[in-house]
Chain A
Amino acid sequence: MQEVCLKCSFSRINKTILADLHSAIYVIRLKRLLLKLVLSKFSILFKFKKSYKITMPTISEKILSRASGKQVAADDFIIANIDYAMAHDGTSILAVKAFKEMDAKKVWNPERIIIPFDHYTPAHTDTGAKLHQGIRQWIREQGITNFFDIGEGICHQVLPENGFAMPGKLIIGADSHSCTYGAFGAFATGVGATDMAEIFASGKLWLRVPQTIRITVDGKLSKGVSAKDLTLNIIKTIGADGANYKAIEYYGKTIQDLSIAQRMTLCNMSIEMGAKTGIVPADEKTFDYLKGKAKEKYEPIYADDNANYCEDLYFDVANLQPQIAKPHEVDNVFNINEVAGTPLDQVFIGSCTNGRYEDLQVVAKILRGKQVKVRTIVLPASRSVLIRATESGIIATLLKAGAVIMPPGCGPCLGAHQGVICEGETCLSTSNRNFKGRMGAGGLIYLSSPETAAASALCGEIADPREVV
């Protein structure tokens, strides 16, 4: 049996650490109490009308308080109840293995587990097919109904489209880009396969409540510059590990003006700064998107005024130019003019960062009636994106321009199959990672927006979308 402490619901830890944790909690509580006392005296002295709140929680602190059933603050260790858990074909393999090794028999709740097949789809080797077969069988045994087989799309597109990404929810995915669901005001983060096995078995996970960085963005994005450029610019400023262990909350007029798809691009790449999650507070756009889709009732969660942020950062995008991340780090970001002219062997448009309908739409607009000069691979992020793009003629436009259309999924993004590059080749990609060996054994990966990728496809070299009309 697990040992669970009644005071803090923390389990499976020995007595010393429990005592340490408790004394730490008590010290914090005592400090808060003293602060409260001092502030209450002040408010009497100065007849402050406003009552002081001592805990001024961030969105993450509030969501994790609800999920753990107690008031928590940054740096607390908690055991949280998970609302939805996701594992794809790449990670569920090991999660199921660990689940079985744990001698677990039944999953905690088959309705709250979502398994999309997207990483190695359709299977292209015997081993791949065998693993798919094994997971499908386990899914049937466990009665998991939220199974999205090959061709349905990338996990991070499938979950929002099917209404699982809702404000205020705690969503854990066995994939690092699970932070994408923060675009809907959820606390969403990625874990590994054994953590996922633990969730499959118990519905719970230990987490440390993150501190939060507040990012405020103002200014209007100019023509040819989009959310991806803003995202790359933020990553350049913060660095590849600048937000390690932390959460990010995004505010400001620019963020409000972003579409849901663009917010997903932004939140998707929070992990590229090491962040645990990146959250855009829910608003009318979020509610509209979720109308008729939301899987259950949800309650949007907002930070308190003057919540405790560990850092406050401001960005003005009025003069932002198209951005490019050069190999082999995502924070190795430059203005387009410093990279323009770099010859390309391949352009890849897709991934959970930029494979949505809006992305294909801007690409089609640039390619319409023209011919690409370099092999160009387009992967719609999901079946529904592909259907929409087919019905609206976008797919025909892309095909006529010489692009190759591939089935929805991850494809070349992780270099597993379809569109792999070799040593000495250069690819411009709309995805989120340019690590060495990511898209094949060798090669150079540059990251950009769909606008820049489309313009570059037409030129056969990295090109400024503002100059290619």
Chain B
Amino acid sequence: MTVKNDLNKITGKVWKFGDNVDTDIIIPGKYLRTTDMSIFVAHVMEGIDPQFSKKVQKGDVIVAGENFGCGSSREQAPLALKYAGVACVVAGSFARIFFRNAINVGLPIIEAKIDCKEGDTIEIDLGNGIIMNEGVDYTVTKLPDFLQEILTDGGLVGHRKKVDAV
């Protein structure tokens, strides 16, 4: 089942991470031999904060530095974040494969450098490329429309079904 995303209204609590958060941090390789999302969720971000899966709430937002998601091509990384309830990942930059995978599985992401602290409540309007935090507005580069459309459809699977149905 693919769930649609509303890209224009994402409001959530911030979890902050640094540069080069790699896919082995997001979901270690030993948990990959399954398609059971609850296992990915139970171990999400284990490499950096073993308690993260217990603390993260549905709708929370990750704000990180450069090169988020570097390393392996494992799609389980964005899946783990998505099913853990992360509503959006904001990072200075993303590793190439993670970027594709996040779009394909329907995990909203946006490249931006913003000032914020852990626990801030952040508002994101992906469709219009606006981020608001603690009264400060940031205008960021929007994703191309076709990528936004895939995200809105909840990922490539949902998108393909929709396009094929027309």
Contacts and interface: CB of A to CB of B under 8 A. Distances in A.
Interface of A: 1-3, 12-14, 16-17, 20, 77, 90-91, 93-94, 97-98, 101-103, 119-120, 125, 127-128, 131, 173-176, 178, 190-195, 197-198, 201, 240-241, 244-245, 274, 276, 329, 414-417, 420, 433, 435-438, 440-441
B101 to A, nearest CB: 4
B87 to A, nearest CB: 20
A98 B154 CA distance: 13
8 contacts: A13-B146, A77-B144, A191-B101, A240-B70, A241-B20, A244-B96, A274-B95, A329-B20
Contacts of B159: 12
A13 B149 contact: yes
B24 A438 contact: yes
B71 interface: yes
Contacts of B164: 1-2, 103
A12 B163 contact: yes
B32 interface: yes
A441 B144 CA distance: 38
Given A241-B20, A245-B96, A102 B70 contact: no
A94 B67 contact: no
B29 to A, nearest CB: 4
Contact of A194 (B24, B95, B157): B157
B75 A91 contact: yes
B125 interface: no
A436 B29 CA distance: 11
Contact of B100 (A90, A195, A274): A195
B105 interface: yes
Interface string B125-166: 000000000000000000011100100000111011101101
Nearest to A175: B73
B82 to A, nearest CB: 12
B104 A192 contact: yes
Given A125-B33, A192-B100, A437-B28, A240 B160 contact: no
B146 A192 contact: no
A194 B70 CA distance: 18
Nearest to B79: A94
A417 B138 CA distance: 45
Contacts of B144: 13, 17, 20, 77
Given A14-B145, A245-B96, A438-B24, A103 B161 contact: yes
A241 B75 contact: no
A274 B25 contact: no
Nearest to A438: B24
Nearest to A101: B157
A101 B160 CA distance: 10
Interface in B52-92: 66-67, 70-76, 78-79
A207 to B, nearest CB: 9
Contacts of A414: 29-30, 72
Contacts of A415: 24, 28-30
A14 B32 CA distance: 35
Given A244-B95, A415-B28, A195 B145 contact: no
Nearest to A207: B100
A435 B75 contact: no
B7 to A, nearest CB: 14
Interface string B2-46: 100000000000000000101011001110111100000000001
A402 to B, nearest CB: 27
A435 B25 contact: yes
A192 B73 contact: yes
A436 B24 contact: yes
Given A120-B33, A192-B75, 17 more contacts: A17-B146, A20-B145, A90-B32, A90-B33, A173-B73, A175-B73, A191-B73, A192-B74, A192-B105, A194-B157, A195-B101, A198-B160, A201-B160, A414-B72, A415-B28, A433-B71, A435-B22
A174 B73 contact: yes
B67 A102 contact: no
